[in-house]
């Protein structure tokens, strides 16, 4: 008899976990698709304007999606638990579960059966995978920008290449063009070159512009000048240099952060651990907002839940800024937001327990 009862409780637990996982996947995928669609439009506009090469768009979107998964997971998990439990409450399933001995503790066990592995995955991603993803994203975007500067000479636009060369052409047909103008700053001099037409080509990985029927005017730093009329003239364009690995704070490997315990690095470590902590605290908090009375307005609870989550998430950034401004010590640092939220959860649980006990009396 006890074995049969235990099997039923296990099925109920599996039912709750399945509901939460299904809703979580739907929510997080929907949010990622919405945000990446805006990002796609932005990247497409940059590619159209010649700021990046079009071939890099999908790689950048993929890297962005991985970053978004980490950022959105705590919120998506919170909403998934709320939706799943609210649905069970509306269908009177939670009340039926309680009547057969499925307590609140069992409900929490089901939630944490998914929350703990999810928090572990997010912690692994934020500590070991995401820094490399952010570095790769930055390098790819910088390379796309550099390549775009030399990939196409666009008609009717002034293009600055490498910071010391500005190019303008009136018409372009494949790799040939007409009415060409280029300004260059070289060591010790500046020059302006104009030509009736020309073409661009690549030789030994160097990019050249070959000009026909034009003139070149140069001015040296000592104010001496020279002018040249030519029928054919070659200009070497700036070399595409692979972007250096800029060690932005979010892209620094966690091992390096641990070995160099400066204030900024310690804050960054706390920031990387925070999403996993948030998932566990939200797993504690979400069931407290669920309505058991199907006639009550459950949508009001969703508005309150989103507001509370926004305050909780923003408080982490506020504490981070306070540490940078030396208004708060590094310990507990960003964890102050989690400690305050945990205190609110404990007080809420105590109030709810007292209210349920009073109703029972």
- 266 pLDDT exceeds 60? yes
In this predicted model, which residue has the larger pLDDT, 47 or 286?
286
| Cα separation, 355 vs 358, whole angstroms | 5
Most confidently predicted of 117-126, 220-229, 286-295: 117-126
Are 258 and 131 a contacting pair, CB within 8 Å?
no
Cα torsion for 295, 298, 304, 308, to the nearest 10°? 130
Say what percent of the chain tops pLDDT 90. Answer: 30
pLDDT at site 164: 76
- 23 pLDDT exceeds 90? yes
pLDDT band at 204 (very low <50, low <70, confident <90, very high): confident
User: How do residues 239-251 score in pLDDT, each as one tens digit?
Assistant: 555 544 445 788 8
- 182 pLDDT exceeds 50? yes
Radius of gyration of the chain (CA): 30
Sheet with 159-161: list strands edge to edge: 159-161, 165-173, 176-186, 189-203, 206-220, 225-236
Of 162, 160, 218, 161, which is closest to residue 193 (Cα–Cα)?
Answer: 218
pLDDT at site 58: 83
| Cα separation, 222 vs 234, whole angstroms | 25
pLDDT at site 174: 66
Number of CB atoms found within 10 A of residue 207's CB: 17
pLDDT at site 76: 96
pLDDT at site 340: 95
Overall average pLDDT of the 297-305 stretch: 75
Are 251 and 265 a contacting pair, CB within 8 Å?
no
pLDDT band at 1 (very low <50, low <70, confident <90, very high): very low
Coil vs helix vs strand at 260: coil
pLDDT at site 116: 96
Burial class (CB in 10 A: 0-12, 13-18, 19+), 16: buried
Overall average pLDDT of the 304-332 stretch: 91
Record the tokens describing residue 182, joined without a space: 């280029």
pLDDT at site 298: 61
User: How do residues 268-282 score in pLDDT, each as one tens digit?
Assistant: 999 999 999 999 999
User: How do residues 50-77 score in pLDDT, each as one tens digit?
Assistant: 566 667 788 888 888 999 999 999 999 9
Least confident of 293-297, 306-310, 351-355: 293-297
Sign of the CA dihedral 30, 32, 35, 36? negative
pLDDT at site 29: 96
What are the start-end ranges of the H helices in 49-103? 57-90, 93-99
Least confident of 240-254, 306-320, 338-352: 240-254
Least confident of 147-161, 189-203, 314-328: 147-161
Coil vs helix vs strand at 248: coil
Of 329, 291, 288, 285, which is closest to residue 311 (Cα–Cα)?
Answer: 285
pLDDT at site 262: 86
Record the tokens describing residue 138, joined without a space: 């930055």
pLDDT at site 243: 45
pLDDT at site 203: 75
Q: Measuring CA to CA, how many Å separate 83 from each of 18, 31, 198, 331?
A: 13, 15, 64, 35
What is the chain's mean pLDDT, rounded? 81
Burial class (CB in 10 A: 0-12, 13-18, 19+), 177: buried
- 292 pLDDT exceeds 60? no
In this predicted model, which residue has the larger pLDDT, 292 or 234?
234
């Amino acid at each position: 008899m006890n074995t049969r009862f235990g099997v039923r409780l296990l099925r109920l637990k599996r039912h709750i976990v399945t509901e939460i996982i299904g809703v979580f996947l739907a929510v997080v995928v929907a949010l990622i698709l919405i945000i990446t669609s805006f990002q796609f439009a932005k990247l497409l506009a940059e590619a159209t304007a010649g700021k990046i090469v079009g071939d890099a768009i999908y790689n950048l979107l993929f890297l962005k999606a991985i970053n978004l998964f980490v950022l959105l997971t705590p919120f998506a998990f919170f909403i998934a638990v709320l939706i799943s439990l609210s649905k069970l409450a509306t269908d009177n399933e939670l009340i039926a579960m309680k009547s057969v001995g499925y307590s609140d503790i069992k409900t929490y066990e089901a939630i944490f059966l998914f929350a703990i592995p999810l928090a572990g995955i997010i912690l692994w991603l934020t500590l070991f995978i995401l820094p490399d993803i952010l570095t790769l994203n930055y390098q790819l975007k910088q390379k796309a920008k550099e390549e775009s500067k030399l990939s196409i000479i666009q008609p009717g636009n002034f293009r600055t290449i490498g910071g010391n060369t500005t190019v303008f052409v009136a018409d372009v047909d494949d790799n040939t063009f007409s009415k060409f103008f280029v300004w260059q700053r070289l060591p010790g001099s500046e020059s302006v070159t104009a030509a009736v037409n020309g073409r661009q080509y690549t030789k030994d990985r160097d990019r050249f512009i070959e000009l026909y029927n034009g003139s070149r005017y140069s001015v040296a730093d000592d104010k001496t000048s020279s002018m040249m009329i030519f029928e054919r003239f070659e200009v070497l364009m700036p070399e595409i240099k692979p972007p250096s690995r800029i060690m932005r704070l979010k892209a620094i490997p966690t091992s390096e952060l641990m070995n160099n315990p400066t204030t900024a690095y310690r804050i960054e470590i706390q920031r990387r651990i925070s999403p996993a902590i948030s998932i566990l605290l939200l797993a504690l908090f979400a069931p407290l907002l669920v309505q058991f009375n199907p006639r009550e307005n459950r949508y009001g609870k969703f508005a309150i839940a989103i507001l509370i989550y926004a305050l909780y998430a923003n408080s982490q950034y506020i504490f981070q800024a306070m540490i940078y401004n030396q208004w708060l010590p590094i310990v507990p640092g960003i964890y102050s937001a989690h400690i305050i939220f945990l205190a609110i959860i404990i007080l809420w649980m105590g109030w709810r327990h007292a209210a349920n006990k009073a109703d029972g009396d």
